[in-house]
Amino acid sequence: MKWTIHRLQVETAPSCQRLDQYLAQAAIELSRTTAKKIIDLGGVHINGRRIRSCSTPIRSGDFVEVYIDRLPLDPYRIRKQDILFQDQFIIVLNKPALIDIQPTHARFKGTLFEALQWHLKDPFRPQQKADIGMVQRLDRGTSGVIVFSIHPRAHKEMTRIFLEHEIKKDYLALVQGTPEQSRGEIISFLARSRKENRVKSVAKGGKEAITRFQLIEQLIDCSLLKVEILTGRSHQIRAHMSEQNCPLVGDVRYGGLPLAAGIKIERPMLHAEKLAFRHPVLNKDLDFIAPVPEDMLNVLSELRKSVR
């Protein structure tokens, strides 16, 4: 997803002019209300530092950057239906699509990590931040199951579980075309190409990535796959399926088309459906399933109509 970035050099500024006033008057077509929301989210930086106070004074010579990610300006908050499991040690969430896990230049407030801090806030000690361990990541566009440790007793063991791959991760992927085989395993070494801004398989270097896939349903020009990853590399499924000439529907960066069945696709059609592991403290088996999100169901429904 492309950002809009405005870079402004303050040549002259009235004494004590507020940041929100300055942005509303700058030639970037922002209302003062919108400017306030972007500042609150964390999308405005002055001289390289994120500023989240609308009343911050602007001074001559300041360099102001405004990052707009084109996502809703109301910050995401964890809803009751997003919580698949929670005890004092871990929390398992059904992450909505188009929510960043960690802060970006465009926002701190409304990311999944910040929303989790908000959710876990102690009403009696609001200034004390929750102790959160992040052992798993999902791309902004990916929906589905994600787990965090939320107690010191769980952090180390959850990290070990993921590092030693003692966890089962199953995804649903809607891809273009159909794989040559109905099931298979892809093994390669993945490395990031800065020039292309994407991950790809390389002959030397990189990190081993293992992806297993199985055809679930063949549709018009598309296929629904069950995908299991035995490693957790960045963009692993996106890169591997693209290299099989079956990029994810909607994954423009990796060669996917932004349309399917006449529907505009806003994200790569990838959903982390299942997650299974042993509880890091209580040592009992846990198995979670996240329902398929509405946008993916709508695309599948339209594609199935075409098959009939």
Q: Residue 308's pLDDT is what?
A: 61
Greater model confidence, 307 or 186? 186
Distance of alpha carbon 213 from alpha carbon 91, whole angstroms:
28
- For 80, the token pair is 């009751």
Q: Is 21 left (phi over 0), alpha (psi -120 to 50) or beta?
A: alpha
**Could you give the C-alpha distances from 288 to 204, 212, 231, 266, in angstroms and in order?**
36, 20, 19, 26
Q: Is the pTM of this model over 0.85?
A: yes
Banded model confidence at residue 126, pLDDT cuts 50, 70, 90: low
Q: What is the pLDDT of residue 13?
A: 67
Q: What is the CA radius of gyration of the chain?
A: 22
Q: How far is CA 143 from CA 25, 111, 118, 138, 174, in A?
A: 38, 14, 20, 8, 13
Three-class DSSP category at 18: strand
Band (pLDDT 50/70/90 cuts) for residue 190 is very high
pLDDT for res 1: 55
CA 162 to chain centre: 19
Residue 194: its pLDDT value, please? 82
The whole-angstrom separation of Cα 248 and Cα 267 is 9
Q: Residue 307: what pLDDT?
A: 66
The share of the chain scoring above pLDDT 90, in percent, equals 82
Amino acid at 113: F
Superfamily (CATH H level) for 80-307: Pseudouridine synthase (3.30.2350.10)
Mean pLDDT of the chain: 93
Indicate the DSSP class of residue 254. Answer: G
Neighbours of 213 (CB within 10 A): 26
Return d(Cα 89, Cα 279) in angstroms, integer.
9
Strands 285-289 and 83-86, bridge-based pairing: unpaired
- The reply to whether domains 4-68 and 80-307 share a CATH topology is no
- Dihedral of alpha carbons 221, 170, 111, 74, sign: positive
**Lowest-pLDDT range of 21-35, 47-61, 124-138, 201-215:** 124-138
User: CB-based contacts of 33: which residues, under 8 Å, 6+ apart?
Assistant: none
Q: Name which of 239, 247, 238 is nearest 272 in CA terms.
A: 238
Residue holding tokens 């429904």? 301
> What one-character DSSP code corresponds to residue 248?
B
Instruction: Provide the residue ranges of all domains of the chain, joining segments of one domain with +.
Output: 4-68, 80-307
Helices (H), 16-111: 19-25, 32-41
What is the third-level CATH fold of 4-68?
A: 3.10.290
Six-digit token pair at 50? 């994120």
Q: How far apart are CA 287 and CA 168, in angstroms?
A: 9
